[in-house]
Amino acid sequence: MNWGVAIAVGSGASLDFLETAAIAYAVARSGYLREAIWGSVVGLGTVAIVAAVFGKGLQAIPLYGLQIVIGAILLWFGSGWVKKGIRRQVDGKRAGWLADDPLTAEGIDLEVQTQRFSRLNFIVMAKSAALEAFEVAVIVITVGLASQAWTEALGATLVALLGSATLVLLLHRYLRHLPDVLIKLGTGILLCTLGTFWLGEGLGLEWWLGDGAIVAIATLYSLLVTLTIVLLRRTNNSLNSQNDQSLT
């Protein structure tokens, strides 16, 4: 069992699926249950089919040729999550889909209430689901190809999908207590760690600790992120103090 792959894929997929489920729930509560359900199914299903075909074709490429590309993609993806997580942690902000009105927070406008099936609202929901599913597909394909731990990657994705839907349906009132920023930071660090490890292997680097280097890299990135957050908070506090003094 490759727990690193399962945790990285599962946590990343959970955040994306939770956002999709929260938006679908908000759309359904606005009076568009059918549009929310079918939009989610079509959006997620379309990306899943394309990803399955694309991922199968990539398996024919030699692993060492893929590791450099995969490592670079995961570093780019993970660093984006880390940067966003750092900004939110420093500013004390949270993801828009956790707001009281997730549709407004995410900039989603629905068609005026109608008795018939709203194709516009269906397209809006399908687009939102597809965008989140695309992020999941990138993570699953890249991590699965590099690690060859497809069982863990796909299994974690399925658990994340079912768990997210269940959580939103049964415990939607408690979603605001979810530590989404910390989860995003942790997932970003894991993706950067795996990306660094596989990029090094693709470039012919022999890690001194073998697979144990993953733990060392993750620890280093965690320390750097923590230090960055502390420094940025101090800088913000110093600037706020100077602004307050200038006003008085």
Determine the Cα–Cα distance for residues 109 and 107; give it in Å rounded to an integer: 7
pLDDT the model gives residue 97: 61
pLDDT band at 221 (very low <50, low <70, confident <90, very high): very high
Question: What total number of domains does the chain contain?
Answer: 1
pLDDT the model gives residue 170: 79
Chain mean position to CA 125 = 18
Lowest mean pLDDT among 89-93, 109-113, 150-154: 109-113
Residue 149, SS3 per DSSP: coil
pLDDT band at 220 (very low <50, low <70, confident <90, very high): very high
Neighbours of 74 (CB within 10 A): 26
pLDDT the model gives residue 157: 92
Burial class (CB in 10 A: 0-12, 13-18, 19+), 126: buried
Residue 112, SS3 per DSSP: coil
pLDDT the model gives residue 96: 63
Per-residue model confidence as pLDDT tens digits over 154-176 = 999 999 999 888 888 777 666 66
Per-residue model confidence as pLDDT tens digits over 57-103 = 766 666 666 778 888 888 988 898 899 889 888 888 777 666 666 77
Question: What mean pLDDT do residues 22-49 have?
Answer: 88
pTM summary value: 0.73
The whole domain housing 43 covers 3-247
Which amino acid would we find at residue 147?
S
Q: Which residue matches tokens 């890299």?
A: 217
Per-residue model confidence as pLDDT tens digits over 186-213 = 888 988 998 898 888 888 888 787 778 8
pLDDT at 247 over 60: no
Q: What is the mean pLDDT of the chain?
A: 82
User: Which pair of structure tokens corresponds to residue 191?
Assistant: 């993706």
Which amino acid would we find at residue 113?
Q
Burial class (CB in 10 A: 0-12, 13-18, 19+), 165: middle
